[in-house]
């Protein structure tokens, strides 16, 4: 099972990959404002868990398993953010920050109900 921080890293890799086309550890460090040492340790754990691969040039690639998990986390983030904005009138910035925390602990049932609300 992947921890909350691992989910955050996968989501960040997905977003950076979509934005820049490729991702290296330094890109993640800049985006999250973490030290290179922290990122290196996290990437090692994600690699061992088969969520990512790294090529000889240091480019980080999501495996199928990593891509699936990253998309799942990103979907939860987006839908919860939209729910907080649409249903409750929370500001976009606050909604996004809160969604980042909620996305890791929300039950499948609650998430599905939010998804139905946002999409319905």
Please report, for residues 49, 71, 83, 90, the alpha-carbon distance to residue 112 in angstroms, rounded to integers and kept in the order given. Answer: 27, 16, 12, 20
pLDDT at 119: 86
pLDDT in tens, 39-85: 999 999 999 999 999 999 999 999 999 999 999 999 999 999 999 99
DSSP letters of 54-70? Answer: E-TT-BEEE-HHHHHHH
Beta bridge partners of 59: 24
Residues 85, 63: one domain? no
Residues 38, 84: one domain? no
pTM of the model: 0.89
Number of domains in the chain: 2
Question: Domain containing 26 — which CATH number?
Answer: 1.10.10.10
Residue 9 half-sphere exposure toward CB, CA atoms < 13 A: 26
Residues 12, 53: one domain? yes
């Amino acid at each position: 099972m992947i921890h909350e921080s691992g989910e955050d890293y996968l989501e960040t890799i997905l977003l950076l990959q979509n934005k820049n086309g490729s991702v290296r550890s330094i890109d993640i460090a800049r985006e999250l404002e973490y030290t290179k040492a922290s990122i290196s340790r996290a990437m090692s754990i994600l690699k061992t868990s088969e969520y990512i691969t790294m090529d000889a040039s240091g480019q980080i690639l999501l495996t199928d398993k990593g891509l699936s998990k990253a998309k799942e986390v990103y979907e939860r983030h987006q839908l919860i953010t939209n729910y907080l904005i649409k249903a409750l009138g929370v500001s976009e910035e606050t909604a996004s920050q809160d969604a980042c925390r909620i996305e890791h602990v929300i039950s499948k049932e609650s998430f599905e109900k939010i998804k139905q609300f946002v999409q319905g």
